[in-house]
């Protein structure tokens, strides 16, 4: 279990997290008792829709809307209690120390501002500095995400960029204040397969260089397993299994096994794909 | 069953022209299942829509069951060929009940409408009668896609065009829908043209695949050849490799990034 | 008591049921859920209450009034508000509250007729233009532009002068000047819907354009049009009142609120209640429609979950 370099324990501690929503049909519990720790590593959170994986990420950032209630035994980021932190404190943490990348850069980048200005602004919000400093940091980050012509991209608008470039710009923007934790919520789901591998490679490089912890949320189990160090598998708001990414084939929980076996495989043809028989006991709790 | 020859589709005029499909040709026999694989911008969806008569070809011919077709289709032809779309959240009218959605094709083609027929159509795709009067927003993505399949099949077509039918679905639901599609094809002797970016899905359902890139077919091969990893074209090999997941060695090849601004 | 409780439980169960047994139940359920969302919005409810009060007032006018609003009692002229005459009397001794209540029927008649004329015409023109496109769109929109170009009251005045005074002519004049924005709204909606996948699905099944417009496009455009209509009601009422004020709408002795202000305005300094009360009535009803329209807009907005 990787710890912070000063050895004072993990970056993020989550214990018994619950997120519930008020809906016209009653209370809906999206996250039901999730616990995990994050060090300076790449942690994958995998689940299907409705598993609560995105809500977990947003609960850590404090980004859920007013209809949601967040409860936890512990929700601590390097010593700071996120549950009781004031809005002001959360604003200072968000972006500066914990950042988030979302799925589609078309919707998460401001369409009327140039890309460079957005990155520079992300820098200025969290660090005192001159505009010139912010600009040079922005260009530096654009280079860090392997954009070959940073000057040109600096002055481009989001709609002028392809999907892959847009995500790289998002990575640049979110990493410019050098956060300790990066949460990536389906960062490559909207991208073509070849492009998404390139984006992941860049993410890999950037995260390793800055020593940040990464939470990679996705529905793609194989992709997550090949990219991260450790994987959490979620079902119905609970974590049903945790395992090292390279030992996924030895997974024990029937849900994980089911997920792995129901994928069609090029090298292993079958007439009928095995389907997941959902056991209601899986919603009952972790092993 | 289906013949496409020299299909060219250009959108827009003059300087802002976009050549979506270039010189696309293909023959699909009755009962065959063929896949079209490519990434975004490859033109695969445009080809499908042209086949469905939703997009007018700029040049080239499309022949269905021996008769050449334009985009003005006869009702009889519409009945032969049905399309299933990618987005289960968009392909069903938000204000119609499932019952209405299934009746509509029957009404259009003046076929007999009965409760029995609607319930049978639902049962065929694994949905019980309790779904009949629900609205689409009350159904999950997988259930909506099943309704889309039921809607397509209720008028007994011979050809199904499938536009990434499982891309928006969870993996476990995808398996169920793929099994459904395989079973229906076997039972009814349907002809499939499946468009997807996912080589694994294509290899499961199809016997033959055409790989497209930037509007052109770069390679056509049988699924056996694909499995034996004998694709000739670099792009096909790239796609195959990408289907296997992330690999740190991709970092080394990053200098060959395709930047499109 | 126990029986009503039980019926309420089964009704509630019927409305919340997961598996509706027929189309009617499904539709009732949808309306019920929209109503719940609507009810949660205090502004919308305020507007709804005002308009509901207006409608009830119009229906129960014979019960609520003490007189018929027409009979003159010249001995009681210009009495200030009192227990006997809550809003006072006008220059012919008629109780003003009575006249306002009777006048609510005229107000509803006018807005109802205008709505019935304007919504279908605007929608048909708008969705046809938006969906079909091309030269059809151009022709229909230029036709709409002609009507849009005129200021509403002036055009209404022109029509009424040509057709002659009277409520029906006023309604016609108002309708002719009001329909064009609805065509625009319907066209905008149709344009966005044109490339939706469910429309493509209908086309690929062989649905004719007319079928698609009527069954697929129109139901989705209706929401925006209705919201706009309720927001416009205030304007329609004011235009009718304006025409009435100028003597071109309802003719005396009909208790149309605008006409009441007009004939009462000479008394504004000493017997303020004569023109002011009908004025307040117009104000309240316009406000009610505005609030209702805002509330409907919030309910129909997909972001707030109104299906």
A184-202, pLDDT tens digit by residue?
Answer: 999 988 888 888 888 888 8
Reported ipTM: 0.86
- The minimal CB distance from A266 to the residues B174, B179, B226 is found for B226
Distance of residue A119 Cα from the nearest chain B Cα, in angstroms: 18
C216: closest chain B residue by CA: B93
Nearest to A168 by CA among A208, A195, A137: A195
- Chain B CB contacts of C206 below 8 Å: 73, 75, 78-79, 108-109
- Chain A CB contacts of C36 below 8 Å: 24
A73-92, pLDDT tens digit by residue?
Answer: 989 998 888 888 888 888 88
Q: Is B156 left (phi over 0), alpha (psi -120 to 50) or beta?
A: left
Cα radius of gyration (chain A): 19
A147: closest chain B residue by CA: B259
Nearest to A108 by CA among A61, A154, A168: A168
Confidence of residue B104 (pLDDT cuts 50, 70, 90): very high
Which of A24, A67, A107 is most worth mutating to test chain C (most C CB atoms within 10 A of its CB)? A24
- Which token pair is A254? 């029937």
What gap in Å lies between CA C79 and CA B192, rounded to an integer? 85
- Which token pair is B53? 């008569």
Q: SS3 for A216? A: strand
Q: Is C28 on the interface with B (CB under 8 A)?
A: no
Give the pLDDT score at B64: 86
Nearest to A192 by CA among C200, B178, B94, B212: B212
- Chain C CB contacts of B52 below 8 Å: 204
- Which token pair is C63? 């019960």
What's A276's DSSP letter?
-
Confidence of residue B255 (pLDDT cuts 50, 70, 90): low
What gap in Å lies between CA A200 and CA C177, rounded to an integer? 59
Query: How far from each other are the two terminal CA atoms of chain C, in whole angstroms?
Result: 35
Residue A109, pLDDT > 80, answer yes
Which of A147, A151, A273 is most worth mutating to test chain B (most B CB atoms within 10 A of its CB)? A273
Tell me the average pLDDT of chain C. Answer: 86
Tell me the average pLDDT of chain B. Answer: 87
Residue B211: phi and psi, rounded to 5, are -100, 130
Confidence of residue A20 (pLDDT cuts 50, 70, 90): very high
Segment B15-28 mean pLDDT: 87
- DSSP string across A111-150: TTS-HHHHHHHHHHHHS---HHHHHHHHHHHHHHTT-S-H
- Chain C CB contacts of A24 below 8 Å: 33, 36-37
Alpha-helical runs (H) found in chain A: 53-61, 87-93, 105-108, 115-126, 131-144, 150-154, 163-175, 193-210, 221-227, 254-261
What gap in Å lies between CA A39 and CA A1, rounded to an integer? 7
Residue B53, pLDDT > 90, answer no
H-run or E-run covering B38:
strand B33-38
Give the pLDDT score at A1: 35
Give the pLDDT score at A232: 94
B175-233, pLDDT tens digit by residue?
Answer: 999 999 999 999 999 999 999 988 889 989 999 999 998 888 988 988 888 888 777 78
C90-146, pLDDT tens digit by residue?
Answer: 888 888 888 899 989 988 998 899 999 999 999 999 999 999 989 999 999 999 999
Q: Are C288 and C54 in contact (CB under 8 A)?
A: yes
What gap in Å lies between CA A267 and CA A246, rounded to an integer? 20
A256-286, pLDDT tens digit by residue?
Answer: 998 888 888 888 888 888 888 888 787 775 5
Segment B56-70 mean pLDDT: 84
What gap in Å lies between CA C285 and CA C256, rounded to an integer? 14
Interface list for C 162-201 with B (CB within 8 A): 196-198, 200-201
Distance of residue C194 Cα from the nearest chain B Cα, in angstroms: 12
More confident residue, A146 or A182: A182
Residue A238: phi and psi, rounded to 5, are -125, 160
What gap in Å lies between CA C215 and CA C156, rounded to an integer? 34
Contact state of B94 with C203 under an 8 Å Cβ cutoff? no
Nearest to A117 by CA among A96, A80, A142: A142
- The minimal CB distance from C26 to the residues B53, B133, B151 is found for B133
Q: What residues does B234 pair with on adjacent strands? A: none
Interface list for C 37-96 with A (CB within 8 A): 37
B152: closest chain C residue by CA: C205
What gap in Å lies between CA C69 and CA C255, rounded to an integer? 7
């Amino acid at each position: 279990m990787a710890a912070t370099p000063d050895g004072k324990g993990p970056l993020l501690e989550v214990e018994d997290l619950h997120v519930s929503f008020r809906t016209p049909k009653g209370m809906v519990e999206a996250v039901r008792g999730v616990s995990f720790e994050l060090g300076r590593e790449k942690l994958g959170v995998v689940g299907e829709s409705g598993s609560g994986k995105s809500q977990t990420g947003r609960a850590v950032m404090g980004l859920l809307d007013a209809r949601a209630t967040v409860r936890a035994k512990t929700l601590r980021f390097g010593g700071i209690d996120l549950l009781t932190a004031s809005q002001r404190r959360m604003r200072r943490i968000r972006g500066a120390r914990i950042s988030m990348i979302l799925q589609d850069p078309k919707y998460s980048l401001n369409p009327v501002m140039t890309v460079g200005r957005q990155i520079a602004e992300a820098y200025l919000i969290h660090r005192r500095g001159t505009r010139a400093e912010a600009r040079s940091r922005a260009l530096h980050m654009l280079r860090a995400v392997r954009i070959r012509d940073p000057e040109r991209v600096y002055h481009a608008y989001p709609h002028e960029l392809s999907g892959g470039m847009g995500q790289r710009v998002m990575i640049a923007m979110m990493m410019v204040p050098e956060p300790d934790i990066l949460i990536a919520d389906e960062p490559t789901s909207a991208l073509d397969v070849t492009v998404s591998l390139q984006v992941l490679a860049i993410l890999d490089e950037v995260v390793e260089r800055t020593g940040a912890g990464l939470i990679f949320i996705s529905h793609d189990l194989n992709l997550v397993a090949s990219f991260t160090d450790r994987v959490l598998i979620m079902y119905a708001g609970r974590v049903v299994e945790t395992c090292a990414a390279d030992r996924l084939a030895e997974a024990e929980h029937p849900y994980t096994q089911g997920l792995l076996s129901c994928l069609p495989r090029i090298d292993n043809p079958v007439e009928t794909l095995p389907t997941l028989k959902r056991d209601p006991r899986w919603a009952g709790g972790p092993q | 069953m289906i013949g496409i020859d020299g299909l060219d589709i250009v959108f827009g005029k003059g300087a802002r022209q976009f050549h979506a499909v270039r010189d696309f040709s293909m023959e699909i026999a009755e009962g065959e299942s063929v896949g079209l694989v490519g990434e975004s911008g490859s033109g695969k969806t445009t080809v499908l829509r042209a086949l469905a008569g939703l997009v007018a070809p700029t040049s080239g011919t499309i022949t269905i069951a021996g008769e050449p077709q334009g985009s003005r289709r006869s009702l009889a032809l519409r009945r032969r060929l049905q399309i299933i779309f990618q987005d289960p959240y968009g392909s069903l009218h938000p204000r119609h009940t499932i019952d209405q959605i299934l009746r509509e094709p029957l009404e259009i083609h003046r076929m007999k409408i009965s409760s029995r027929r609607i319930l049978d159509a639902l049962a065929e795709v694994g949905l019980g009668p309790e779904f009949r009067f629900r609205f689409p927003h009350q159904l999950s993505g997988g259930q909506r896609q099943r309704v889309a399949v039921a809607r397509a099949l209720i008028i007994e077509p011979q050809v199904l065009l499938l536009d990434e039918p499982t891309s928006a679905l969870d993996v476990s639901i995808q398996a169920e829908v793929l099994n459904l599609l395989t079973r229906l094809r076997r039972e009814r002797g349907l002809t499939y043209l499946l468009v997807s970016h996912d080589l694994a899905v294509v290899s499961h359902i199809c016997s033959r695949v055409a790989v497209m890139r930037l509007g052109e077919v770069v390679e056509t091969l049988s699924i056996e050849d694909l499995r034996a990893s004998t694709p000739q074209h670099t792009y096909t090999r790239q796609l195959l490799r990408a289907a296997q997941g992330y690999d740190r060695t991709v970092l080394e090849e990053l200098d060959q990034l395709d930047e499109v601004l | 008591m126990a029986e009503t409780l039980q019926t309420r439980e089964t009704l509630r169960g019927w409305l919340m049921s997961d598996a509706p047994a027929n189309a009617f139940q499904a539709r009732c359920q949808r309306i019920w859920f929209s109503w719940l969302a609507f009810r949660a919005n205090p502004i919308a409810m305020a507007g709804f209450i005002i308009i509901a009060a207006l409608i009830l007032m119009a229906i129960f006018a014979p019960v609520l009034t003490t007189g018929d609003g027409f009979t003159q009692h010249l001995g009681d002229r210009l009495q200030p508000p009192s227990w006997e005459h809550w809003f006072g009397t006008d220059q012919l001794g008629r109780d003003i509250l009575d006249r306002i209540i009777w006048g609510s029927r005229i107000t509803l008649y006018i807005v109802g007729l205008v709505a019935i004329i304007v919504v279908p015409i605007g929608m048909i023109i708008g969705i046809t233009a938006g969906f079909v496109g091309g030269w059809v769109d151009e022709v229909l929109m230029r036709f709409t532009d002609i009507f849009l170009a005129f200021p509403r009251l002036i055009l209404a005045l022109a029509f009424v002068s040509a057709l002659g005074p009277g409520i029906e002519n006023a309604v016609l004049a108002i309708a002719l000047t009001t329909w064009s924005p609805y065509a625009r709204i319907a066209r905008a909606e149709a344009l966005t819907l044109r490339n939706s996948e469910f429309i493509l699905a209908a086309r690929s099944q062989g649905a004719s354009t007319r079928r698609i417009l009527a069954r697929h496009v129109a139901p989705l455009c209706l929401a925006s049009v209705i919201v706009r209509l309720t927001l416009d009601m205030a304007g329609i009422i004011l235009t009718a009142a304006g025409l009435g004020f100028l003597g071109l709408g309802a003719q005396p002795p009909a208790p149309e609120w605008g006409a009441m202000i007009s004939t009462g305005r000479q008394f504004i300094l000493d017997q303020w209640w004569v023109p002011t009360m009908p004025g307040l009535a117009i104000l309240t009803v316009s406000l009610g429609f505005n609030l209702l329209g805002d509330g409907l807009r919030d309910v129909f907005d997909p972001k707030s979950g109104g299906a």
